[in-house]
A and B are shown apart, each in its own frame.
Chain A
Amino acid sequence: MPHRLLRFGLSRKHPEPRMFTRHDSLKTGYDVVIIGAGGHGLAAAYYLARDHGIRNVAVLDKGYLGGGNTGRNTTIIRSNYLTPEGVKFYDESVRLWQDLATDFDLNLFYSARGHYTLAHTDSAMRTMRWRAEVNKHYGVRSEAVDAAFVKRGIPSLDMTCGGHAPILGALFHEPGAIARHDAVAWGYGRGADQRGVEIHQQTEVTGIRVQGGRVVGVDTTRGPIAASKVLCAVAGFTPRILDMVDLHTPIYVHPLQAMVSEPVKPWLDPIIVSGSLHVYVSQSARGELVMGASLDPYELHATRPTLDFVEGLASHMLDMFPFLSEVKVNRQWAGLADMTPDFAPIMGVTPVEGFFLDAGWGTWGFKATPVCGKTMSHTVATGRNHPLIEGFTFDRFARYQLTGEKGAASVGH
Chain B
Amino acid sequence: MKILVCPLNGPRPVSEFAYGGEVRRSPDPNTCSDAEWSSYVFNRSGSPGVKYEWWCHIASGFWFVVLRDTTRDVVIDTFPAEAVRRGLPTPPAAAAP
What residues of chain A have their CB less than 8 Å away from a CB belonging to chain B? Answer: 238-240, 242-243, 248-253, 297-302, 304, 306, 308, 338, 341, 397-398, 400
Contact = CB atoms under 8 A, between A and B. Distances in A.
Contact of B46 (A238, A298, A397, A400): A238
B48 A301 contact: yes
A397 B37 CA distance: 11
Contacts, number: 54
B72 A302 contact: yes
Contact of B43 (A243, A248, A306): A248
Q: Which range contains the number of B residues in contact with the other chain?
A: 20 to 34
Interface of B: 2, 14-15, 18-19, 22, 34-35, 38-39, 41-48, 51, 53, 70-73
A249 B43 contact: yes
Nearest to A398: B38
Given A304-B73, A398-B38, A400-B38, A249 B18 contact: no
B35 A252 contact: no
A248 B39 contact: yes
Given A299-B51, A308-B15, 9 more contacts: A249-B43, A249-B44, A250-B43, A252-B44, A299-B19, A300-B73, A338-B46, A341-B42, A397-B43
Contacts of B43: 248-250, 397
Nearest to A308: B15
A298 B34 CA distance: 29
Contacts of A248: 39, 43
A400 B41 CA distance: 10
A275 to B, nearest CB: 20
Contacts of B15: 308
A299 B41 CA distance: 18
Contacts of B48: 240, 253, 301
Determine the main DSSP class of A at the interface with B.
loop
B70 A300 contact: yes
Q: Which of A252, A253, A301 has the most CB atoms of chain B within a 10 A radius of its CB?
A: A301
Contacts of B22: 299
Contacts of A252: 44, 46
Contact of A251 (B19, B46, B71, B72): B46
11 contacts: A238-B46, A250-B42, A251-B46, A299-B51, A299-B53, A301-B48, A301-B70, A302-B72, A302-B73, A306-B2, A341-B42
Q: Which 6 A-B pairs have the closest CB atoms?
A: A239-B46, A298-B19, A301-B48, A397-B42, A250-B42, A239-B47
A285 B34 CA distance: 52
A242 B46 contact: yes
Contacts of A253: 46, 48
A301 B47 CA distance: 8
Nearest to B19: A298
Nearest to A397: B42
Contacts of B70: 299-301
Contact of B47 (A240, A298, A341, A400): A240
A397 B34 CA distance: 11
Contacts of A299: 19, 22, 51, 53, 70
